[in-house]
Structure 1
Amino acid sequence: MERKKIIKQKEVTDFWEKEVCGTRFVKKNSDSTNHEQIRDSRYRVEPYIKEFAFEFPDRNIADKKVLEIGVGAGTDFIEFLKRDAICSGIDATESAIKETRRNIDCAFQENNYRLEYLDKVNAEKLPFDNNYFDIVYSYGVLHHAKNTMTCLSEAIRVLKPGGKIKIMVYSDFSATGIMLWILYGLTKFKIFASQEKIIFNFLESPGTKCYSNKELKKILEGFSLENVVLKKFAGTGDLLLMPPSKKYKGNLIYKIAKKVYPRFFIRKFQNSFGLALTAQARKSFKD
């Protein structure tokens, strides 16, 4: 069994305080606002997010109470507000809360939105009553938490019976994982290192987790969630479409890889090679 380094939540929080997720797409010399740039790049490169986040059986989330765990730059959060949902949002970092508030101000000329709560909060202990929300949404966040299962338990606690939970976590096999394995496994002569271990150590904040379809389904059903639907999608990392981090800026291999990268193939077979493992389920009425 592979041993993993014990990660402190402060290490994770400090990482994301330095760079709010999505803000790497912002160009300072653009006429567009930060919010517009982040929104347009997000939904252009990862168009599946809009359907996953906002499509519901009756195509209407007006008057629904929505909680987003990990608002980041507030892109999806603002789209919930625009659909007249009653929104609450939390994030582990102060920088994300400030960025989201700025972007809300840019997106709305008047206070014609229904914001109930927005603050820095540890998702392990949510400040909401049991059975309060119609929808709990968290995209690319829970796998970064030190105690992911505690966060998930809290998310389900505040969800109403019959309510919908929608989350995205990382898959344990992906194009991103293969690239990281080449960098930190193959070239380091650690050919038997798993993608799970490499993602834990080298993808984004320290201690990032990933899951197989079977494992995630078992976890969600273990929390008595029903109608679990899983899908995988190729994201910006899988497609090498995200601006490079400081670690890879100016890297010649990275520049060459971006030009010859087989994006069509990855998109076509994203159900196998996608890093984004989405899950939606319903909370049972029996609880």
Structure 2
Amino acid sequence: MSGWRTLLERDAAGALRCPVCRQGALALSGEDLACGCGARFPVDQDRHIAALLPPESIASEAKSNIRAWWGDLYEQLYGPTDKGLTPERLEHLLDLTEDLFRRRGLLPVVEMPLAQLAGSQVLEIGPGGGGHSCLFKRHGASVTAVDITPQRAISTALRLSLVKGDEGRAYQGDAENLPFRDGVFDIVYSNGVLHHSSDTDQALAEVHRVLKPGGKAVLMLYARHSAVFWANIVPRGLFSGEMFRWPEAEWVGRVTEGKPKFGQTRNPFTRIYSETELRQALRAFRVVSLRKNSFQFDNFAIPRLTQLRNAVLKALGHRPHPGAELVYGAAEFVPETALELWLGQFMGFGWNIVVEKVA
């Protein structure tokens, strides 16, 4: 407890800023973080979390829906794993997760080489259940995670407290109004999150602001020209009629990421980017690299195609991987075949992005 409080005090003195006046420093005052402008933000000492949301983020209907939907999905995917999680169990799951990421050629091991993270100040926006942040901490980074959904911020704080490594902390905050001073982080990492924001352009502007000059953002955003979009999302939008009822980001949101289980709120927003649209959104940065991946033969709107793919691949000798629990909430996952990995360069749903803040 005292170690976490010391870390919070140091962050308040050197890294945090008030998300209300957007310039004042924060200081611990009783059970709150306080700013000279009069704003106060609650600190949960037991869960090692501080809620740094401005009133407009709390009152916004769009952001309330974002919190409701992603909180629902947290309970579906990550809640069961968090129950009874121990340091030993987490270390084992991280070993499996890292191996699965390498087999799949994913962002956190290709564009974010883990061996190079020691000593870096890393911010993760939208950590989900904290699996990626824990990997970065284990490899020597000083990790800060921020998520607008309280359940996800709390889960990340729990997992960071259990894993060995450098420093790790989590805050509840808004990607469109990050509670950090300018130029704090060496790396800002966000995997499949910013395209779900109510204002992705503003979130990208915040990424740029909190990076040090010469710092890098490592991001994954969804690709428009992909099998998932044209052969799955578009047909589902057409057949459901959602395409004709909502703006694109909203109807795509409603037909992606799953269905609510503990409430009624659907996924509010999902944005999709062509390369031209992507470069326009990233115009404040210098683009270092763009890479597509994430294609599987079940990326088509055909009922039970995932089950069929998995059954065929298992019959052909492709064994399920046990490393999906921590980040996907699945007991097992059948990784991409060599052919799927190759096709992902052209038809993949993920833009893997490295951009730099020019000094």
Q: Could you say which TM-score interval applies, normalised by the shorter chain? A: 0.7 to 0.9
Matched residues, number: 260
- Closer, same or farther: CA 155–255 of 1 in aligned 2, 3 Å: same
Q: CA deviation at 1:55?
A: 1.8
CA contact (8 A) 1:26 1:38 kept: no
Give 1:53-202 correspondences, 5 Å limit.
Answer: 53-55=111-113, 59-108=115-164, 112-115=165-168, 117-177=169-229, 178-185=231-238, 199-202=252-255
Offset from partner CA, 1:99-134 (integer Å, 9 cap, x none): 1122224433xxx5213x411101111111111111
Q: 2:78 aligns with which of 7, 16, 23?
A: 23
Tell me which amino acid in the other structure corresponds to 1:9: K
Q: CA deviation at 1:201?
A: 3.1
For the pair 1:50 / 2:50, whether they are aligned, the reply is no
SS of the equivalent of 2:232 reads helix
In the superposition, the TM-score normalised over structure 1's length comes to: 0.75
Tell me which amino acid in the other structure corresponds to 1:266: E
> How many angstroms apart in 1 are the aligned matches of 2:347 and 2:79?
23
- How much is the aligned-residue C-alpha RMSD, in angstroms? 3.8
Q: CA deviation at 1:97?
A: 1.6
> How many angstroms apart in 2 are the aligned matches of 1:41 and 1:200?
27
CA contact (8 A) 1:175 1:266 kept: no
For the pair 1:255 / 2:255, whether they are aligned, the reply is no
Partner of 2:354 in structure 1?
A: 280
CA contact (8 A) 2:217 2:355 kept: yes
Tell me which amino acid in the other structure corresponds to 1:146: S
- Closer, same or farther: CA 137–65 of 1 in aligned 2, 3 Å: same
Q: CA deviation at 1:43?
A: 4.9
Q: CA deviation at 1:39?
A: 6.6
- Closer, same or farther: CA 267–253 of 1 in aligned 2, 3 Å: closer
> How many angstroms apart in 2 are the aligned matches of 1:122 and 1:256?
40
Partner of 1:203 in structure 2?
A: 256
Q: CA deviation at 1:75?
A: 1.2
SS of the equivalent of 2:186 reads strand
Tell me which amino acid in the other structure corresponds to 1:132: V
SS of the equivalent of 1:131 reads coil
Partner of 1:245 in structure 2?
A: none
CA contact (8 A) 1:240 1:258 kept: no
- Closer, same or farther: CA 47–76 of 1 in aligned 2, 3 Å: same
Q: CA deviation at 1:49?
A: 2.8
Instruction: Note the residue ranges of structure 2 that are not aligned, 5 or more in a row.
Output: 1-60, 258-266, 314-335
Offset from partner CA, 1:65-110 (integer Å, 9 cap, x none): 11111111111111211222222110111111221122224433xx
- Closer, same or farther: CA 121–187 of 1 in aligned 2, 3 Å: closer
Q: CA deviation at 1:272?
A: 1.9
- Closer, same or farther: CA 149–173 of 1 in aligned 2, 3 Å: same
SS of the equivalent of 2:277 reads helix
> How many angstroms apart in 2 are the aligned matches of 1:239 and 1:97?
34
SS of the equivalent of 2:282 reads helix
Offset from partner CA, 1:125-179 (integer Å, 9 cap, x none): 1111111111111111100010111111011001111111111111113232212
% identity of equivalent residues:
24
In the superposition, the TM-score normalised over structure 2's length comes to: 0.61
> How many angstroms apart in 2 are the aligned matches of 1:252 and 1:282?
41
Offset from partner CA, 1:172-227 (integer Å, 9 cap, x none): 13232212334443687x8xxx9977533311222211101221122212x1x114
> How many angstroms apart in 2 are the aligned matches of 1:168 and 1:9?
21
> How many angstroms apart in 1 are the aligned matches of 2:269 and 2:139?
35
> How many angstroms apart in 2 are the aligned matches of 1:210 and 1:255?
26
CA contact (8 A) 2:141 2:167 kept: yes
Tell me which amino acid in the other structure corresponds to 2:216: K
Q: 2:290 aligns with which of 220, 224, 230?
A: 230
